[in-house]
């Protein structure tokens, strides 16, 4: 096994095989799991496909919600939406697209853990880190309990963020700066709550790992990576920063009740009086937290044995990884209540168990890096250590089997197709002033009895003629949003909304040619171009550095050959 793992290709084969077993096998046997989040993802992907077919590659407005439209495709991080849409174009089956996407993300996550440990441990340790991540309970829970596709994908990017931060703090090479910027940019474009918990965790991690005599150089590179990430993702976050108050998801109801942090702090299943539906989730989350604590026990034992002394950078990395994992675990417990209560920004994450994404990555790394050290420290207990290690792995696998093959929320292909055809639109992604009562009047245009002829009705461009009559405020069956603009007979008019959020346009007594169109602000357009240029620059610089590295290795004058 050790010899087999010496070759990177063999390691990749093992990681792919593990991913196939934990992702594909349960789906082939029992099918996908249904959830409200899955329905939302399907709706976003359907809207993107529809927009692309009409020539709009980057839509800012969806045409769902009975034609009234919504904002999910504008505010939700776009990476996974484009990924599923691209895979669906190849498979022509969204059902297969979902499990293929989960599989690819699992492989990426395992590879990230492998690469991190490969810098500090043996090849067999690196492979084991990837395998432990593959059986870590929380990533699989995102697949088989909650179907949190975007959050699962974001978790697979997290190891790369820690990998390149570590390399910057150690080597301070600009190539690692570029790779960190790309990794963190992809994380931002995948899942916002995971980005927040990762950013906080990286801050803690950098404090723990930093060689302070090299602090200025490392800080400049870390700041550069952060700045590049912000520029590369500006096309997305400019919408979030400037317009989120117009989104229903910003209302208090989406961070209170069962969305509130205080309903999900460990231990979840103790002293709770909730429905049986939540009790099952509470127990599962508590079990996952306990299992993750067990993987960190080896480090605690070594730390006590060494008295906390740091002798080399390798031990400093291991300490930083594990202590950051402990911090993330702390944030899932009731002991962290005061932190959550004092931070309104942190409360927007909603669920403390989201910190388990960080724990799953770092605990997998810590566990495999600690095992050789603990065996060296306690040679007389080698058998006990081996049995305990196997026991922890067996417990995780047993929990995985239970959650992966459980029958709750299973969905067949036919039921999946029904969900996809329903084109579900969650009210959280409507404009904040939108109301379902608007659907009681489904007519595209109501003009107080005046005749209306619709000339064009596209996603973001509508034209219609209103016959002469009494001056009126005509109602359009589209939710109001400030970026909708209107002209009447070529003259710009102010667009307003009725009591249910539908658009209202004033017209005079004469025949009126009305055009309604969605126009992005100049600032948003400028940021989109800036982001595009930055991605092109990142790609060119990365290719140049990679080819320069190959040329250097191939040079006959290189003394290292």
Indicate the domain borders of the chain.
Answer: 4-148+246-422, 436-518
* Residue 34 DSSP label: P
Distance CA 41, CA 151 (A): 12
Is residue 293 exposed (0-12), middle (13-18) or buried (19+ Cβ within 10 Å)? middle
Q: Which two tokens stand for residue 197?
A: 């918990």
Q: Which two tokens stand for residue 550?
A: 């190959």
The CB-side HSE value for 399 (13 A sphere, CA atoms) comes to 24
CA dihedral 173, 175, 177, 180 (to 10 degrees): -130
Q: What percent of the residues of the chain are helix, what percent strand, and what percent coil, each to the nearest 5?
A: 65, 10, 25
Q: Which two tokens stand for residue 239?
A: 């919408």
Q: pTM value? A: 0.93
Going residue by residue through the chain (561 aa), what tens digit of pLDDT does each one get?
556 667 788 888 889 999 999 998 888 888 888 887 888 889 899 999 989 988 888 999 999 998 999 999 999 999 999 999 999 999 999 999 999 999 999 999 999 999 999 998 889 999 999 999 999 999 999 988 888 999 999 999 999 999 999 999 988 788 999 999 999 999 999 999 999 999 999 999 999 998 888 888 889 999 999 999 999 999 999 999 999 999 999 888 887 778 888 889 998 877 666 666 678 888 899 999 999 999 999 999 988 877 666 667 788 899 999 999 999 999 999 999 999 999 988 988 889 999 999 999 999 999 999 998 888 888 888 899 999 999 999 999 999 998 888 767 788 888 888 888 877 788 999 999 999 999 999 999 999 989 999 999 999 999 999 999 999 999 999 999 999 999 999 999 999 999 999 999 999 999 999 999 999 999 999 999 999 999 999 999 988 877 776 555 444 333 322
Distance CA 112, CA 131 (A): 11
Q: Which two tokens stand for residue 419?
A: 């969900």
Q: Which two tokens stand for residue 287?
A: 């079990």
Distance CA 242, CA 124 (A): 48
For helices 123-135 and 137-144, the axis angle rounded to 10 degrees is 40
Distance CA 161, CA 164 (A): 6
Distance CA 485, CA 225 (A): 38
Distance of CA 128 to the CA centre of its chain: 25
CATH 2.60.120 fits 436-518, yes or no: no
- Which residue's entry shows tokens 């004092």? 342
């Amino acid at each position: 096994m050790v010899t087999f793992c010496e070759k990177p290709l063999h390691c990749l084969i093992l990681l792919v095989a593990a991913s196939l077993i934990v992702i594909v096998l349960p789906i082939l046997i029992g099918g996908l799991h249904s959830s409200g989040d899955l329905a939302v993802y399907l709706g976003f992907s359907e809207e993107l496909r529809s927009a692309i077919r009409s020539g709009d590659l980057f839509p800012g407005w969806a045409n769902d919600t009975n034609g009234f439209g919504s904002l999910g495709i504008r505010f939700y991080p776009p990476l996974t939406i484009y990924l599923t849409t691209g895979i669906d174009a190849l498979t022509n089956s969204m059902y297969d697209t979902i499990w293929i996407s989960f599989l690819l993300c699992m492989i990426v996550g395992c590879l990230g853990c492998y690469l991190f440990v490969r810098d500090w441990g043996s090849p067999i340790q690196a492979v084991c880190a990837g395998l432990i991540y593959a059986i870590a309970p929380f990533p699989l829970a995102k697949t088989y309990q909650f179907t949190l596709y975007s959050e699962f994908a974001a978790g697979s990017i997290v190891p790369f963020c820690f990998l390149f931060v570590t390399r910057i703090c150690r080597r301070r090479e600009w190539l690692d700066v570029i790779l960190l910027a790309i990794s963190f940019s992809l994380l931002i474009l995948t899942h916002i709550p995971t980005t927040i918990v990762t950013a906080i965790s990286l801050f803690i991690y950098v404090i723990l790992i930093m060689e302070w005599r090299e602090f200025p150089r490392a800080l400049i590179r870390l700041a550069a990576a952060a700045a590049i990430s912000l520029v590369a993702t500006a096309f997305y976050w400019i919408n979030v920063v400037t317009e989120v108050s117009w989104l229903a998801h910003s209302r208090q109801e989406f961070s209170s009740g069962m969305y509130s942090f205080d309903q999900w702090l460990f231990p979840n299943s103790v002293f709770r009086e909730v429905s049986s539906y939540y009790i099952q989730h509470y127990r599962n989350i508590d079990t996952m937290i306990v299992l993750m604590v067990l993987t960190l026990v080896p480090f605690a034992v070594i730390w006590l044995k060494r008295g906390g002394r740091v002798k080399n950078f390798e031990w400093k990395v291991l300490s930083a990884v594990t202590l950051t994992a402990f911090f993330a675990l702390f944030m899932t417990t009731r002991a962290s209540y005061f932190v959550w209560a004092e931070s309104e920004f942190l409360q927007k994450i909603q669920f403390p168990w989201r910190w388990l994404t960080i724990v799953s990555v770092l605990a997998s790394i810590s566990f495999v890096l600690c095992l050789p050290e603990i065996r060296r420290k306690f040679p007389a207990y080698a058998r006990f250590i081996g049995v305990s290690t196997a026991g922890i792995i067996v417990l995780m696998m047993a929990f995985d089997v239970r959650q992966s093959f459980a029958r709750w929320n299973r969905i067949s292909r036919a039921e999946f197709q029904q969900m996809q055809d329903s084109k579900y639109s969650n009210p959280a992604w409507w404009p904040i002033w939108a109301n379902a009562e608007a659907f009681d009047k489904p007519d595209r245009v109501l003009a107080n009895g005046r005749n209306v002829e619709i000339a064009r009705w596209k996603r973001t461009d509508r034209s219609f003629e209103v016959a002469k009559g009494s001056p009126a405020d005509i109602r359009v069956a589209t939710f109001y949003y400030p970026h909708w603009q209107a002209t009447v007979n070529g003259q710009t008019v102010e667009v307003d909304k009725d009591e249910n959020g539908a658009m209202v346009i004033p017209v005079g007594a004469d025949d009126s040619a009305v055009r309604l169109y969605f126009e992005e602000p100049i600032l948003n357009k400028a940021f989109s171009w800036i982001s595009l240029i930055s991605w092109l620059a990142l790609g060119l610089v990365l290719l140049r550095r990679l080819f320069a590295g190959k040329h250097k290795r191939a040079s006959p004058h290189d003394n290292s050959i």
